[in-house]
Structure 1
């Protein structure tokens, strides 16, 4: 009888992390019939109240993926901590949930052992990198191999490998006064100015969370990275030579190309956007969108609006203000703006990003540089201008502009929580570079990388082969 296995995924329940984890689970099942079932163990958090409903909407077409909802904690960390230092909040949540996770995983393992009619065994855990404390607290205690699934890129992994050495020497969070300090991070082609590091590293509580997480990567059986060898050859080559580090598998790009409906939006809104794009000339529209968590303050909205008027290009602009209540984005626009750009622009609070990027009318993308959005823009061959907002997006922007030369530098070091404005002049310069004919060289390069991304996940491609090696290791190493 062929060996059959079950995997247990434990993701962070934010929309971006959940989406990629479930898409990866689908890919594994599609690639190899020996993976009988994948169970997603899901935290129940007040910061992600719709996570379970969202996750279930993503697995309707795949009955071999199951959701196991954990009960709510009696005592969550404060939401003030989440706003102040989200990395610290998540690390605390995972530690508080550890007994419940261990109990749930143990029950799944035991049910497989007791099922005399089934040859399926639980082969291991696939953990979000924020959950890597579970390697020792759950995986090792239950004799299960633990793999880390990194929803970021390989250079982010390089940064995490660098942090423990830096902490041993300095022992404190980063300081903005030394933002121009050049950091020699192995796996990068160039030294990285400290100002491009994640903003959490400048916050004591979040920094301590990073320092807690970073060394535990070395305890994993392997590390799966949502990137591909052709995009990040330098860091993947670096990790291939590290004898004292787990094997690193480039398994990306992992994308949800069947667009995800926003539960707060009506189908009519999506239809309105796509019909408007259908009426625009090919390769003529600038798309501006700042991700599921990105919001823009009203003074910044006015700077963007002024820039779009000055450039005069067609645009689709999706944004939310930082208001605590849901508002119409048009209310934040300068008086008369929509009249002055009539026929050239459409403003909305949400857009179906995948379908927009795939539309023939789109020419350029002003993006917050979240890694999911970055991979989508490359996949569809749409060059972007970098406008990072939070998390690791500054590092992504540096990677795209400096390391890979695949993006226009709008503002690589912007962090929304630090205040300040990206000026109209900065926006005009970047948008013109992106939309004018001078950007054709960049456009060709992005298109070539998009072609490489598609080849990577095809049969015989670099990521497909790396994923197959990972599955073979799971099947061959009977850990239960």
Structure 2
């Protein structure tokens, strides 16, 4: 019988962001199912609950000295503090694991937690970077870096609607972090240039969906790139929500007609302007389409929950829609009643949409979301991008997605793309084979 006690210990770092922690823990679950011992190094901020995971997972808390995710000032400063503060305790954990006799340790680190790659190199351990964003985001980020090195910045030097030369289909407005200050982006670029070189890159995606971008990524890193995705379809997903899910919305969906409900959610971090939300609300009402709206507490600064909604909206839409604080998103998207998803275009949300064959209405805010929305609407054509936040335009786009012939064509395309997911996950598919190759690589260490 094979002695798995000699297998490498896999240490994964999990950042405090829901969109990053979820796929990291999914990856941990997948590797555990393959027989590896797993340790999760995590920030104390938004720490995972060990009771949701196998009893033989080891949890290694990192001293981050942070009480909340603060993106009100400089998000880059927050990332810097996270990395600086977590590094010493991470190094201490690894040294202790080595002295306890773990002769072979592989470190898989979320790219936001880039300190872990440097610590792994310093201790002669194998560093593997895990990226939970889209592959198409990476070339766009490189373009932004190149512009920075030329001393050129989107906010000063470009017409945002113009196309980026040699980078079809991206416009300048689609490039990442267009809302960041110039100083903030300088610091971000500096961080990026100092990161340790990984031995392997893991990407949560489907090879056939992002083939061209993945080719560029291979050329950039010059190391193996394994496409494992969608991770949430490869193994049972442990609960990782930082907010309590309101499962009563499923009972409400059960009473609705097939594909009659548009689901709205902008993730765990986005904050919105109250005026924009008022236009969204009246756009929903005027569309006359049924809706399920997940409004996270704190979505609008200085508000507890939904007191910012315009007067009369709740009464007018009482029979049309349901508002909850947080929804079980994967279950919602897989429900027969859901016919569209109005989203911020985080990568996890897009993969979940594709996996369930649900058309999208895109409203990107920051980071990779602009790039993602551009590909969803312009390249893959499985959704429409909302660029005018006015109630009549919003109502029109909801109807285009939900009831017009255009929406039916989108639905057909995303249904076909759902087939790509099945192919990738089947025996012999690209995600299945990449997982086998990753297991082989870790064992070779």
Superposition TM-score, scaled by structure 2 size: 0.89
Aligned to 1:118: none
Aligned to 1:464: 432
Aligned to 2:60: 68
Aligned to 2:81: 92
Secondary structure at the counterpart of residue 153 of structure 1: coil
Q: Does 1:291 align with 2:262?
A: no
Aligned to 1:384: 360
Aligned match of 2:100 in 104, 111, 118? 111
Q: Does 1:204 align with 2:177?
A: no
Secondary structure at the counterpart of residue 292 of structure 2: strand
Would the aligned equivalents of 2:130 and 2:202 in 1 still touch at CA under 8 Å?
yes
List gaps (5 residues or longer) in structure 1.
114-120, 412-420
User: Offset at 1:226?
Assistant: 0.9
User: Offset at 1:90?
Assistant: 0.8
Aligned match of 1:141 in 122, 137, 143? 122
Superposition TM-score, scaled by structure 1 size: 0.83
Sort the Cα spacing of 1:206 and 1:252 in 2 relative to 1 into closer, same or farther, 3 A: farther
Aligned to 2:313: 337
Aligned to 1:39: 39
Q: Does 1:314 align with 2:306?
A: no
Would the aligned equivalents of 1:304 and 1:424 in 2 still touch at CA under 8 Å?
yes
Secondary structure at the counterpart of residue 11 of structure 2: strand
Would the aligned equivalents of 2:283 and 2:394 in 1 still touch at CA under 8 Å?
yes
Deviates more, 1:361-370 or 1:463-472: 463-472
Secondary structure at the counterpart of residue 338 of structure 1: helix
Q: Does 1:422 align with 2:389?
A: yes
Secondary structure at the counterpart of residue 284 of structure 2: helix
Would the aligned equivalents of 2:42 and 2:61 in 1 still touch at CA under 8 Å?
yes
Would the aligned equivalents of 1:19 and 1:55 in 2 still touch at CA under 8 Å?
no
Residues in 1 aligned to 2:397 and 2:173: alpha-carbon distance in whole angstroms: 20
Aligned to 1:362: 338
Residues in 2 aligned to 1:107 and 1:25: alpha-carbon distance in whole angstroms: 21
Query: For each residue in 1:61-112, what CA deviation from the matched residue of structure 2 results, as whole angstroms up to 9, or x when unmatched?
Result: x223221112354xx6x98974222133213321343232212111112212
Aligned to 2:50: 56
Aligned to 2:214: 236
User: Offset at 1:324?
Assistant: 3.3
Q: Does 1:432 align with 2:405?
A: no
Sort the Cα spacing of 1:133 and 1:262 in 2 relative to 1 into closer, same or farther, 3 A: closer
Deviates more, 1:314-323 or 1:366-375: 314-323
Aligned to 1:175: 155
List gaps (5 residues or longer) in structure 2.
none
Q: Does 1:14 align with 2:17?
A: yes
Secondary structure at the counterpart of residue 300 of structure 2: coil
Root mean square deviation, CA, Å: 2.7
Sort the Cα spacing of 1:401 and 1:470 in 2 relative to 1 into closer, same or farther, 3 A: same
Residues in 1 aligned to 2:60 and 2:361: alpha-carbon distance in whole angstroms: 39
Q: Does 1:28 align with 2:46?
A: no
Sort the Cα spacing of 1:201 and 1:474 in 2 relative to 1 into closer, same or farther, 3 A: farther
Sort the Cα spacing of 1:11 and 1:63 in 2 relative to 1 into closer, same or farther, 3 A: same
Deviates more, 1:142-151 or 1:173-182: 173-182
Deviates more, 1:376-385 or 1:81-90: 81-90
User: Offset at 1:428?
Assistant: 1.8
User: Offset at 1:238?
Assistant: 3.2
Secondary structure at the counterpart of residue 154 of structure 1: coil
Q: Does 1:445 align with 2:405?
A: no
Residues in 2 aligned to 1:246 and 1:163: alpha-carbon distance in whole angstroms: 23
Secondary structure at the counterpart of residue 27 of structure 1: helix
Query: For each residue in 1:319-346, what CA deviation from the matched residue of structure 2 results, as whole angstroms up to 9, or x when unmatched?
Result: 244143523x2x3333333333342211
